[in-house]
Amino acid sequence: MATLLTEQHKDRLAGAVIRAGGLFVIVVVIGIVVNIGYQALPLFLGARQGPIEELGSGPALAVGSDPRRETPWALRPDGTIDFPGSSVEPIEVLPPPVHLVAADAEIHDLVVALADDGTVAVGRVRFRDSWQGGTRSTLARWRPSADPLALPGGRHWTGATANVDEDGAVLVAAWDSDGGLELQRWDPDDEAWRRQAVPAVAQAASAAVAEGLASLAVVERDGHLRVFRQPSGEELAVEGLREPAAVVRYLIGGGTLAAVGSNGSVAVLLQVPRVKVINRTDRPAQAAGVVVPPGGERVVPDDQVGAAFASRPDVEVASAVPAWEVVRELPGLGARPTVIAPSDRRRGFLVGGADGTVALFFSTSARRLLDSRWGDGPVTALAMDPKADGAVAAVGAGLVRRSIDNPHPEVTLRTLFLPVWYEGYAAPKWVWQSTGGSDAFEPKLSLWPLLFGTLKATLYAMLISVPLALLAAIYVSQLAPPWVQTLVKPTLELMAAVPSVVVGFLAALWLAPHLEGDLLGALLWLVSLPLSVVLAIAVWRTVPEGWRRRLPPGGELAVLLAAAAAVAWGAFALAGPLEGWLFDGNFQRYLFTDFGIRYDQRNALVVGIALGFAVIPVIFTIAEDACSAVPGALVSAARALGATRWQTAIRLVVPAASPGLFAAVMLGLGRAVGETMIVLMAAGNTPLLDLSAFNGMRTMSAAIAVEIPEAPVGGTLFRVLFLTGTLLFVLTLVLTTAADAVGRYLRRRYGRF
């Protein structure tokens, strides 16, 4: 009895340990998923602002702050910049006596000051640290971008704005009380101002100059917005602006224009590239959804239209004048606008109103992130801090500042999963491009290209692996002789031990170049391989029964392998002559010129072969076990009733083993979805939305592996990659749940076996 109790205690203890271990694993998995999701959660938390800080009183024409948000500054009408609340000494913009009538603060702290005598000063406020006795103090100075500009006399100048390019050239636009416009350009080589040709503008009310000096926007007194190329002065079309504009400002980079109407409406315009398509044939030319009549021409947005028509010998594609188009209408300000303050780093901007309202907008996500009153009276000057973490404003007769917490303004569910119209594009697109070469780069974080790439890689891998693995499992378990089973089964199971990095290495450095060099032969072999199998079976049936019995069991496999080898040899041997005869010696060029199909060396076909190699052992092992688990008595009964081995395998074994076969396929699918190294090395990492087998892709797992080491911790890209990991887990969970549900259904249906 004591021994029996001891065994019972052991069983209970073992059961408790197993249950505790299982629960621990579940808790750990849940904890990992929760942590991953928690890292992505801040993407969807809105912007927040701190309390209003009073900085002093007095009129201010322009305001700003140092990068640390320690030293705000204000440009006063007497031509000096002071620093309220700090010990920094005031600095002069123009020597006294001077009286400023207008000022403008552009991005990167560029200040434009206009005096009542027509003098314009353009420069920046620069800060540096000074250390004495271990104590840090801040020093400020005025750094002019050009010599002071003297506008033509005899006119009452009321406003001016300017911007600079990377070479140091400055373009100043000034307007007078009669609406006259003046353009002056500073030549840094000659260190002289030169008058620019002034476009024909009817009574200019305000203007804006793009960063890089490529474009000039002018708002006329009736609210009509006009945009001109610089320095040519060519006018560009403005399309889609429904409300009269009151204030406009270019955002960082110069390719985005924010326009606020007199009623507070906010619109974002982008410069849309366009091309001219000239049809020199006597029949309509059509490509990318564009039809050009015979002998005619069309100016269309360059949404891959130029590339689609470029291969046509009788169709000419030429560049055309771009147009500015309203691509987003944001929630309104709710008051008459007075000033726009763009961000130095991202495509966000603040808008101040006549009632003291300040609203924060973001162009890419089309969001109004904040909207509140900062004081009584109109907002006369406004600037976002250099790191976009606060702002300084002159409201009424007071100067105030406020902190802003807005770490992820560009991310919404719409920007992650729906097409977005980005700067430089001709239409909304799904684009993944997380980094660029300048501060003006607009991050493009659409997850659809990554999800599409994951599904594309999985699709091609399953197309190759599922038929081979399932047919091999059925053959080995039901049709093959013992010696074939002993050879094939361990070999396929050992394939699972090959590291995926080795498979990816071989696919990228050996398979991809060889496949590129013999593409036509490979395609011929893939097409003719099923025909060769059918032909070999037909030939095998014509062999006399006596001869077939002389061959050892499994001899038909040798016939099939010999047929496949012969077809492969013939396909690759004929590929060269056929390519020279039919495709002028270059099959890849033929695909591109006639069908627009571009061949990349690392593509979906390479990934499908390599990833299929990795998935086949998973599917084969489980499928073979499921087929072998069908009771032998059922198989013997079917054979006794006159069914052939093939009929028994297809009509009895496969239905009885279908739950296991489906589970094998779903496990292989999960293996393909989560694979990283093979797709990282062999897919080309190009986030394209194209099902072509000759193009690459970027999968979710590859994007995480490539970009997470370089993503700043806590930044938008960092959290989007964590969101990608969460979606990858959810996708795998959905597949597993669907597999379990289908497996239960199949077990209920075929349970009689």
Please tell me the distance from the alpha carbon of residue 194 to that of residue 147, in angstroms, as a whole number. 12
**Percentage of the chain lying above the pLDDT 90 cut:** 36
Q: What is the pLDDT of residues 177-228, one digit of tens each?
A: 988 999 999 999 989 999 998 888 888 999 999 998 999 999 999 999 999 9
Of the listed ranges 256-260, 371-375, 540-544, 579-583, the least confidently predicted one is 540-544
What does the block give as tokens for 188? 């840094």
Which of 581, 604, 613 lies closest to 464, judged by CA? 613
Q: Which of 659, 670, 657 lies closest to 744, judged by CA?
A: 659
- pLDDT over threshold 80, residue 105: yes
- 279: number of CA atoms within 13 Å, CB side? 17
Examine the pLDDT at 166 and tell me if it is beyond 50.
yes
Contact 421, 411 (CB under 8 A): no
d(CA 147, CA 151): 12
Question: What count of other Cβ atoms lies within 10 Å of the Cβ of residue 24?
Answer: 10
- The pLDDT of 557-581, averaged and rounded, is 78
Which residue ranges form the domains of the chain, and what is each CATH number?
60-267+323-405 (2.130.10.10), 448-516+602-749 (1.10.3720.10)
Q: Report the C-alpha dihedral over residues 673, 674, 678, 679, rounded to 10 degrees.
A: 60
CB < 8 Å & 24+ apart, contacts of 303-310: 303/425, 303/426, 303/427, 305/275, 305/277, 305/426, 306/275, 306/277, 307/596, 308/596, 309/277, 309/285
* Segments in 268-336 forming alpha helices (H): 305-310
Most confident of 13-27, 564-578, 684-698: 13-27
Q: Beta-strand (E) ranges in 133-177?
A: 135-144, 149-150, 157-164, 170-176
| Residues 339/382, Cβ–Cβ less than 8 Å | yes
Determine the average pLDDT of the residues in 515-532: 81
Element (H, E) at 121: strand 119-132
pLDDT digit string, tens, across residues 306-363: 666 666 667 777 778 889 999 999 998 888 999 999 998 889 999 999 999 999 999 9
pLDDT score of 294: 79
Nearest Cα neighbor of 420 from 571, 287, 256, 181 is 256
Cis ω before 97 (30° cut-off from 0)? yes
How confident is the model over 88-108, as a mean pLDDT?
A: 88
Q: How far apart are CA 392 and CA 65, in angstroms?
A: 7
Distance (Å) of CA 724 to CA 305, 433, 603, 607, 708: 32, 14, 22, 21, 11
Instruction: Tell me the C-alpha distance between 634 and 753, whole Å.
Output: 8
Q: How far is CA 311 from CA 173, 239, 592, 673, 742, in A?
A: 44, 31, 8, 36, 48
pLDDT at residue 308, as a whole number = 66
Residue 253's pLDDT band, with cuts at 50, 70 and 90, is confident
Strands 110-115 and 181-187: unpaired
Extract the tokens encoding 283: 């029949």
Q: How many CB atoms lie within 10 A of CB 497?
A: 7
Beta bridge partners of 276: 299, 318
Average pLDDT over residues 373-394: 92
By the 8 A CB rule, do 234 and 321 touch? yes
Six token digits for residue 96: 């006294």
Question: Residues 18-59: pLDDT tens digits?
Answer: 999 989 998 998 888 888 889 999 998 888 999 999 988 888
- The whole-number pLDDT of residue 1 equals 46
Query: What pLDDT band is residue 751 in, cutting at 50, 70 and 90?
Result: low
Band the pLDDT of 453: cuts 50, 70, 90: very high
Residues across the chain: 753
Question: Three-class SS of residue 453?
Answer: helix
Answer yes or no: are the C-beta atoms of 120 and 149 closer than 8 Å: yes
Neighbours of 263 (CB within 10 A): 14
Q: What is the DSSP string of 314-346?
A: TEEEEEEEEEEEEEEEEPP-SS-EEEEEE-SSS
Residue with tokens 């099939």: 560
Q: What is the pLDDT of residue 2?
A: 52
State the maximum Cα–Cα separation within the chain, in Å, rounded to a whole number.
119
| CA 548 – CA 557 distance, rounded (Å) | 12
**Rounded distance, CA 646 to CA 723, Å?**
48
Q: pLDDT value at position 307?
A: 64
pLDDT at 312: 66
Average pLDDT, the chain: 86
Query: Which of 295-299, 615-619, 632-636 has the largest mean confidence?
Result: 615-619
Residue 296 pLDDT > 80, yes or no? no
DSSP-assigned letters across all residues of 229-259: ETTT--EE-EE---S-EEEEEE-TTSSEEEE
Cα distance between residue 369 and residue 47, in whole Å? 6
Instruction: Return the DSSP state at 308.
Output: H
The reported pLDDT for the residue numbered 434 is 86
The pTM of this model reads 0.87
H or E element, residue 727: helix 716-749
